[in-house]
Structure 1
Amino acid sequence: MAGKKIGLKPPAGMRTAVLAQTVLAVLFLPAGAFFAWIAEGEAKPFALFFGLVWTAGCGFLFFRGRSALKALKEGTLALELDFEGEDSPGSRLRELESLRKDRLVSEEEYEKKRAEILEEKW
């Protein structure tokens, strides 16, 4: 059962933290341009590169925060889990044992299927 989504209730204070992230991203955005503007001489190319990276990072934080706030408001937060091993031999044997106890498979069918599962590569 891969890719099962589970709804989450956000922890207390998450909205405040995301809102703070978004506001700080907007406030710090001009700092990158300021550093690039005040740089002189040989430092100018490095300052321009720094300003570009700084601006991209602030933009990422802003848009990521905005989408998180929207998801919080709509209540659409979800966690996608991949349940590997759910089809493991152990779980299949337990399921088979349960079927036998409920008398949904005969003893002969149980022994045959159990042997098949045990012969598979683990």
Structure 2
Amino acid sequence: MGRKVIRGDISLHKIPFQFQSQYVWTIQLFIVLPNGIRKQLGMISEPTSIREPWNFAFNFDDEHTPDGVGHYGIRVEVLDGTVVVADADQSFSIAWHNDAPSFQQLVLEPQAI
């Protein structure tokens, strides 16, 4: 138990359009309990220009997470106001090895153009 790190990168290779300066991106990290309930562990959100490589990292203390975590999930959204223009969603299990970080790769998919 202790500090855990989940790092990752997000590929834009499937996006057929240029991101606009008014877009806001969010990345959410959550755990999924065996009963299906999601609990958010962290969120990053800010307006920015998005270019590859697009990297992120979450640092959290797993002593504050409930026992019996089914798996983890990451949800990425790129928003134009309230419209999702691109997103990625990934669920995964982690076999933690001491303090070694977990690395996840996501691919943004276009939604609304």
Q: TM-score range by the shorter chain?
A: under 0.3
Structure with bigger helix share is 1
TM-score (norm 1): 0.21
Structure with bigger strand share is 2
TM-score (norm 2): 0.23
